[in-house]
Chains A and B, each alone.
Chain A
Amino acid sequence: MSMRTPLSQVRGLGSAREGTAHFWHQRLTAVANVPLTIFFVVLLISLQGADHATAVAVLGSPVVTVFMLLAILSVVYHMKLGMQIILEDYVQGEMAKVIWLMANIFFCTIVALASVFALLKISFGV
């Protein structure tokens, strides 16, 4: 016997079957972000006032590129998850919510792809 109300049965929404995936991915990237952002801040300080050749040499060295790629991917996924929650909390109306959630994914994809492409170009040779 179903415990759901008639209205709930008609809507047929129920669980999205995603469980705690959002929370788990949020915390996973949060843990990764701690060392990666510290690495990024230290890198930025060391590149303070650097000329182009120096910036390319440092950012293009394999270890730095790999850690920068990890930082970008982890941070962008983390911020996509975070902004999704903010939008789900505050945007009124289903259509507006879907549009904003799409805009969030587009924004994050563009930021990530631009950064990853730039890093690979720097590393493989400008």
Chain B
Amino acid sequence: MSQSDVKAVRPLSPHLQIYKPILTMVTSILQRITGAALYFGMLLVAWWLVAVASGPAYYDFVSGLFGSIIGYLVLFGFTWALMFHLLGGLRHFLWDTARGMEKGTRDKIALANVIGSILLTVVVWIIVLAVA
């Protein structure tokens, strides 16, 4: 039997669309999505650092883009992704010690991850707008 035949008859395990979305599952997926978003967000960090190194003219141009409405929206999303991924990471540290996995506890921590990320993002942006 060729390899493709073996694959053709192999049953597939159920995937995302089979399961009812629950909080711990959603936060797990969001941890991966925010990680991937931050991955590409690092391009903005590198771009900004290169802009500073390039001199005043290019720095002013890039600062203007980041300071525009669209720039602020992107940076706001960047902030939330960072806060969510940061808190999600802390959750993983807790799990690494085999704590916080009980039913109820894990849901509370997942909810804290979501609410905490929103609160931190709002706090950061209140400070940003206050400074500006």
Contacts and interface: CB of A to CB of B under 8 A. Distances in A.
Co-complex (A, B): yes
Interface of A: 27, 30-31, 33-34, 37, 41, 45-46, 48-49, 51-53, 55-56, 59, 68, 72, 75-76, 79, 82-83, 86, 110-111, 114-115, 117-119, 121-122, 126
B124 A114 contact: no
Given A31-B93, A79-B42, A55 B59 contact: yes
B32 A117 contact: no
Given A37-B82, A79-B38, A114 B49 contact: yes
B39 A52 contact: no
Contact of B53 (A72, A79, A83, A117): A117
Give the secondary structure class of B's interface: helix
Contacts, number: 84
Given A55-B52, A121-B53, A41 B124 contact: yes
Q: Is the interface of A mostly helix, strand, loop or mixed?
A: helix
A76 B42 contact: yes
A49 B52 contact: no
Interface of B: 32, 35-36, 38-39, 42-43, 45-46, 49-50, 52-53, 55-56, 59-60, 63, 67, 79, 82, 86, 89-90, 92-93, 96, 124, 127-128, 131-132
